[in-house]
Copies of this chain bind each other. A is one copy, B any other.
Amino acid sequence: MKREPRALDPLNLALDAAAPLSLQHQLRQKLVDAIHRDVLRPGQRLPSSRQLAERIGVSRNTVSLAYDALLAEGYLASRSRSGVYVAADAAGTRIGAGRPRQEPESPLAARLTPVADDAGFRCPQHWHRYPFPFIDGRVDAELTPAPEWGEAIRLASARREVLQWHQDGGDSDDALLVEEVRGKILPMRGIQAATDEVLMTASGGHALQLAGDLLIRRGTPVVLERPTDAAFERRLRERHAEVSMLDPDLREPLPPGAVVVTSCRYGFAAGSAYPGRLLARVAAADGLVIEHDVPAGVQDGGRIAPALRAFDQEGRVVYVGGLAPAVSCGEPPGVLVAAAAFIERARQLRRSQGTAPPRLMQRAWAYFIGLGHYSAGLVRAGRVMAERRTALRDALNHYLHGRVRIETSPGASAYWVSVPAGMDARELARQAAAIGVLVEPSCRGDGREALCMGVTGIGAARIREGVRNLARLVRGDLSPSSRRMEDESIAPLQGKALRRAMAGATLLYSTVYGVPCTLEIHADGNLVGTAGYAGEDCDRGHWWLEGDRWYRQWRQWAYGEASGYAVIVDGDQIRLYGEDGFLADTAVMTRRTTARRRE
């Protein structure tokens, strides 16, 4: 019997039956990877499909299919009767051996133009793993119409569709999507638009940015309606626009040539005189309007109410809107509606930026809307949201009655909760995040500080407990008095209980410099850490128990040194005490399985 080739021994070909990819795909991915990394070299012989199948514990068919695909693509070659080899000219391009780059203080850092939204609130990357994510506009999996999206994407990526993508001039939008938006989306706001009055954008924010770039320059008088979009307002000031606030009663004339930025949040009630009066003021000043609509659906469950653009007979209004995040997968595209001359210029700007929404996404949205999933999804989302809104109102009333005032707007998915005297909204939000309650510090129209608590991302069943925890914080029950181990009323975990608590847990921290950090404690002794709003700072490490202490050691973080802690678990919170008996860290403790169950 011939000796089995040992080609694959240095390879990690362990496949994961629970992974999203099929075993065959995983195997292909790993083999391609090994060829790219030069672990498998040209001319090297691979084991037979039978041998490999036995070794890695999959069916022979799985290996054969993977080999066939790689043979067809030229990664592997077969020689008759002697088996399968890595092709001599394997398409793989090797990773260079170049030195690791040294860049202690890049000269770039000092030279960068500041970006407008530095100061705004930023939602942590792992918001969905917090036990109580009251972030308005972040949508949880309960609302995601996953099978409907699967269908729309399948249709949009049929072979016949794919073959037509290359024909895209890069400048036009998908005609089918424009039809659906004109026929089914814009009418929800009473807007009729010709095909050359509509442009699709990467997001609602992108549409606003294009409109602002085209209409507002140094010295342009801009009149903002409250509440304003804070990031957009900063950006206007950076451009040296002449910013003022709109008098809600429209008593004064507008500055000549003014650009009014209005939100018209929930559309206008039937018979309201306001749209006509505002447009008359705008026309008298020979001004223009950027109407920045809120995303549909999250707010109003698909109700119909006309936007200002629906009243605009002179073409003075640029409507900035977007598809509904409540039924979207990821950030939905935005839409601009305005006179054809404006749309033409916006299309040019989009081209020069290189930011047209990809054809696949446009076509998938067209099918999603055309097959009725969009409207049906909005109605369903509106129902779910109404239930959650009620749960939030009742909980706020029960636990915080007399301590805060709450406000909302008709159909909104959030309550604005006033901040008790002597407290700071940002600091309160920071402390709340540390106990697992995510809320957004926010300013109301009149400048009062508030917490914005939304229900788009949290199920009705979790709302009461989240509000109770927030109330404990507001009442001062959670003041960080117990800084020393000896002051704790709860005993630290020991032995098996300690291992059981830690293995498989996920800890959510803030770093001392205020950036969110996620630490996954795997049952096999591995640690995976992710820090930063975009998870851009990562490290790996190990953990173990010694005595009744939990030890961790990172490759790089914390100077790569091992350190041990006594562990106290207090509901959702975990407290780690160092060897000196002082509190070293607190974090929110959650488990992947919990997160999955909530989905």
Contacts and interface: CB of A to CB of B under 8 A. Distances in A.
Given A153-B360, A355-B203, A91 B138 contact: no
Interface in A434-453: none
Contact of A183 (B95, B112, B140, B288): B95
A470 B36 CA distance: 44
Interface stretch (A366-374, A406-414, A487-495, A560-568): A366-374
A353 interface: yes
Contact of A172 (B102, B347, B535): B535
Interface string A529-542: 00011111110000
A36 B184 CA distance: 7
A144 B169 contact: no
A349 interface: yes
Given A187-B93, A352-B209, A370 B29 contact: yes
Given A214-B112, A378-B91, A353 B206 contact: yes
Contacts of A139: 166
Nearest to A170: B331
B20 A103 contact: no
A57 interface: no
B98 A310 contact: yes
A477 B213 CA distance: 48
A113 B217 CA distance: 8
B534 A347 contact: yes
B112 A215 contact: yes
Interface in A44-81: 69-70, 73-75
Contacts of A96: 187, 190, 192, 304, 306, 310
Contacts of A340: 106, 536
Given A166-B140, A235-B352, A153 B153 contact: yes
Interface string A176-196: 000000011001101011011
Contacts of A330: 165-166, 168, 358-360
Interface string A204-239: 111111000111010000000000000100010000
Contact of A169 (B125, B167, B175): B125
A209 B353 contact: yes
Given A37-B183, A344-B536, A533-B171, A370 B32 contact: yes
A511 interface: no
B187 A112 contact: no
Given A190-B96, A341-B112, A91 B288 contact: no
A202 B358 CA distance: 8
B188 A165 contact: no
A109 B286 CA distance: 13
Contacts of A460: none
B538 A195 contact: yes
A334 interface: yes
A188 B36 CA distance: 10
Contacts of A206: 353-355
B98 A190 contact: yes
Given A28-B371, A98-B192, A184-B93, A149 B166 contact: no
Given A73-B373, A128-B166, A330-B360, 19 more contacts: A25-B155, A70-B372, A89-B379, A96-B190, A101-B315, A103-B339, A106-B341, A107-B316, A111-B288, A112-B342, A117-B348, A117-B352, A146-B159, A154-B157, A171-B533, A205-B353, A209-B353, A360-B361, A361-B361
